[in-house]
Structure 1
Amino acid sequence: MSSETSGRRLDTPTSRRGPIFHVDADIIGVYAERIARFLGTGQYLAYQTVFVIVWIFINLVAVSLRFDPYPFILLNLAFSTQAAYAAPLILLAQNRQENRDKIALEEDRTRAAQTKSDTEFLARELAAVRLAVGDTVTRDYLRKELDDLLDDLVERLANRSAGDQSTDPE
């Protein structure tokens, strides 16, 4: 074995050769979503329909301009290429939308949990206020108690004055 190959390990990758491209996945995703949105519009279908009609018309009627005879192999190839690019772009757009939906769902769950805890706190506070209000003296209750005390005092005074009159030698 030479000294050059003896120091190299087979399980360690060698350094990369050639240019290294750093592509931002978000930028690709944004453009993929734009393309996917456009592919799903009626405007795109109208453009594509006009394109196909013109293509077929030129290749069937205009003999001097004919570049894709009857089985329209080039048109078929163009649609195949379009489908080969459109499907992954649509899937990429769907995956990005799914990720956004997951984030929104998690935020909704967090917000719902916070709302639930706030509601439970307010219910406990309201119950405490009701208990505190239930222990306070109302005007009617105080009036009744004072009337009962007044009646009791009048009765005691009446009993005392009746007792004083019975012991009075007059």
Structure 2
Amino acid sequence: MTETEPEKRALGDSDRKLLSHLRIHRRKNRDLKPAKLAPNLTPGQRIADQVAATMGSWPFIIIQTLILFVWVVLNVTAYVQRWDPYPFILLNLALSFQAAYAAPFIMMSQNRQQDIDRRDAENDYKINIKAELEIELLHEKMELLHQKIDFLREKEVLSLIEEVRRLCDQRAGK
């Protein structure tokens, strides 16, 4: 039995082709530098990422809360001329504009991140398949080694039996 026979037994042609493809893919990606793996972002994508990162941060929330608090206090107490009295129509308009423009930026950034995550998940799946196939090959090779060891043990036991018989015949003949 050759070493390739267990591989043929355990893995079909499609599995061996897939494993070969994954090994080649790994070698190609190992040579790539991180800069080559990162996609080139368009200015719009960079802006969308920056807006999403800024609006999703605690400093932005704290600063916006302070601005809203000062706006409301100044308009309620009339410390400064009331430029936006109680129902705060101007404030509502400003916040509506902010939400109207922020939502598409955030959605663009999330969609791009979703594409990256999908690509990473696909790569993880390929790695898991490759690991599974490699482990299966290792199991087969271990089984082959066990079979060879068992064969050698049997051969050794038979040779020892023959040697014992020969020695017994030799003693009986003396």
Q: TM-score, normalised by structure 1?
A: 0.68
Aligned counterparts of 1:90 and 1:55: Cα–Cα separation in 2: 26
Which structure 2 residues correspond to residues 121-136 of structure 1 after superposition, within 5 A? 121-136=137-152
**Cα distance in 2 for residues equivalent to 1:53 and 1:80:** 17
User: Please, which of 113, 127, 140 is the counterpart of residue 97 of structure 1?
Assistant: 113
How many pairs are equivalent? Answer: 134
Q: List runs of 5+ in structure 1 lacking aligned partners.
A: 1-23, 159-170
Indicate yes or no: 2:131 matched with 1:115.
yes
User: Percent identity among equivalent residues?
Assistant: 31
Q: 2-side partners of 1:64 and 1:116: how far apart?
A: 71
Structure 2: distance between partners of 1:107 and 1:128: 31
Mapping of 1:65-76 within 5 angstroms?
65-76=81-92
2:170 to 150, 153, 165: 153
Greater C-alpha Rg: 1
Separation in structure 1 between the aligned mates of residue 53 and residue 137 of structure 2, nearest angstrom: 45
**5 Å matches for 1:10-29?**
26-29=42-45
The structure 2 residue matched to 1:37, chosen from 53, 62, 78, is: 53
Q: Residue type of the partner of 2:147?
A: L
59-68 or 123-132: which moved more?
59-68
Q: Partner amino acid for 2:111?
A: N
The amino acid that maps onto 2:49 is E
RMSD: 2.4
Higher RCO (Cα < 8 Å, 6 or more apart): 2
Question: Does residue 103 of structure 2 align to residue 87 of structure 1?
Answer: yes
| TM-score normalised according to structure 2 size | 0.67
Residue 29 of structure 1 aligns with an amino acid whose one-letter code is: Q
* C-alpha distance in structure 1 between counterparts of 2:113 and 2:59, whole Å: 23
Greater share of residues in helix: 2
Q: Name the residue aligned to 2:19.
A: none
